[in-house]
Structure 1
């Protein structure tokens, strides 16, 4: 399965693509979408949307993972980050990709083993886990870490979803049996 991870930001949006097969993961690509700050907000959001669409067309992911927005002390920054995240999510949805969301705490815990790890620790672990020659940029490392988190969580999520569907199916059959009998 090819997974696209996104670390959204209004100035810098990181992306990372990995190939996952069981517990084996392999680096495919990563980068940072740098959005000119002098553009009006709507053009900045469109730049994020267009660039993520291009990444999707180029790398053809099967699934995607997106970092959830955290609420910080500045509500304006939180709102702007949410809009950048929305532009990224629209690009993913427009390409018919499933979008799984993870908090920074979940991502860091999955990659580093510590939900309060520093950015440098995430970069080093991503480099190590993907056998990269050099240290990825902070934005790329965060996006790759998001994809790695999804690669580890997805098999469990699929089992839970399958179990949930079989439970719902069983309940429907039971209800139908009561209606008939």
Structure 2
């Protein structure tokens, strides 16, 4: 994974700088996200790694599937990646692009996993608290995982706050065993 990120980083930075200069961050974000989904598809991965296809054909396959979301500069970008045999890195490029975009916009995506469905008021209160703690604009999504028993797990970037009953029981069991 670290190796893929290392190869993907220059492409993500170049795409981000270009999109930022042109004022097209949202457009590039959508285009790269769609291309990433396409590149993650098992059947399409075979197309991207098929040695019988030229770089132009592989790039054109991505462009054709993404259709109206691809700009002229996006076509050039995909062709450049194809010529370097890097189209398989599109998911990593998209993720790194989104990280750069979030840093610039001073925002972060937060995933809240709870044992039970959270009300709108609870979600709003938690989003306000997280915004104050992280000093960023928050985009929050929620999931329900009954195995947590109670409490929450909050994931924001590389930060994880485990306030679940399951997590506390695991810590207690670990403390007892040591």
TM-score, normalisation: structure 2 = 0.26
Which fold has the larger relative contact order, with Cα–Cα distance below 8 Å and residues 6 or more apart in sequence? 1
The structure with more strand, counted as a fraction of residues: 1
Structure number with larger C-alpha Rg: 2
The structure with more helix, counted as a fraction of residues: 2
TM-score, normalisation: structure 1 = 0.25
